Amino acid sequence: MLNSNLTTAQLILISIIPVLFAIVLHEVAHGWAAFKLGDRTAYMLGRLSLNPIRHIDPIGTIVVPAVLILTVGFAFGWAKPVPIDWRNLKNPKRDTALVAIAGPAANLAMALGWGMIAAVTNILPDSAILLSKPLLNMAIIGVFFNVLLMVFNLIPVPPTDGGRIAVSLLPPSLGNVLSRIEPFGLIIVLLLILTGVLWQIIMPIIQTISSLIFLLFGL
């Protein structure tokens, strides 16, 4: 659905807003959930702000997405993780899962929001084409990137959100075994990315969810 005639510069420009919102609100959602469940760490450090400057990681928020857009045509990235003191949570086992799921849930909500924006652009008059076309492309990127971020973060390998959810929900014996993977989790995920195995697993899921969202809004 994305306009294939876009130049690289245009693609980067229309990706900035949806990518920043997806990354920043993902982290803010974690911090907000932790705050509601008893941990004020992110709040006291000013990390519940929607100001992207407070969350930007120079590598993960700027360099990596830009390089990926230039090389493979889509973006992926991350922000500085919101600091959470898990010991402050009222019910650590349950609340850890709730804090972890808050990020992907925020991405799903944003994907649906961008789907709604895409639907609105389709009913704008022809006289608004200078607005509707860029906004439609931005919305398409918003849907895809948020779904990508949601699915990626639900991979059940600590320290991803999915890993923390799995550790919390599994019986203690199995949860403890899975939690021991955490020091090596990022290396495992990186190897899966570099070998292409990860994309073979999650891309069909991402494409299916994105298609369902577009279908929901009649696109």
Active site residues per annotation: 27
Phi and psi at 196, nearest 5°, equal 85, -5
Q: Two tokens at 146?
A: 């948020």
d(C-alpha 219, C-alpha 211), whole Å: 9
Q: Two tokens at 206?
A: 């991402």
Percentages of the chain per state (helix, strand, coil), in multiples of 5:
75, 0, 25
Phi and psi at 79, nearest 5°, equal -110, 175
Question: Is the Cβ–Cβ distance between 138 and 12 less than 8 Å?
Answer: no
Question: Is the Cβ–Cβ distance between 206 and 144 less than 8 Å?
Answer: yes
Half-sphere exposure of 24 (CA within 13 A, CB side): 17
Type of residue numbered 122: N
SS3 call for 128: helix
**Of 129, 134, 145, 123, nearest to 78 (Cα)?**
145
